Amino acid sequence: MKNGILIAMIALIGVVIAACGGGDADKQKASEGAKQSIKVTSAGEIATLDSALYSDTFSSDAIGQISEGLYRVNPDNDAELGIASAEPTVSADKKNLHIPTTR
């Protein structure tokens, strides 16, 4: 009886070790041909992804998640430059605001 339990335990440990041990080559092969996608749910219908035309909360949330603005909030809740490459400058006549971007 003790030998049967011992053999079963050894077999179980072998199965666990075999299942956990995968080479990096296997992971690389699996990710090379894999299509990368993400699915996000929304509580309502997203009317538009045009940031100039949206007027609802659901579109605003989606736009905020997929695009980066001139500024973003860092983990310390401070504003930092997003796609803006420098702080804005105001023209001499104070009618134009120039914001250089990285793109």
Query: How would you write the pLDDT of the chain (103 residues) with one tens digit per residue?
Result: 677 787 888 887 877 777 776 666 555 665 666 787 778 788 889 899 888 899 999 998 888 888 878 888 889 999 898 888 999 999 999 999 999 988 7
From 72, 69, 50, 70, select the one nearest 59 (Cα to Cα): 50
The pTM assigned to this predicted structure is 0.40
Burial of 99 (0-12, 13-18, 19+ CB in 10 A): middle
The confidence score (pLDDT) of residue 95 equals 93
Who contacts 67 (Cβ-Cβ below 8 Å, separation ≥6)? 51
Alpha helices per DSSP H over the chain:
2-20, 24-32, 57-66
Q: Find residue 73's DSSP bridge partners.
A: 79
The confidence score (pLDDT) of residue 25 equals 58
The confidence score (pLDDT) of residue 27 equals 59
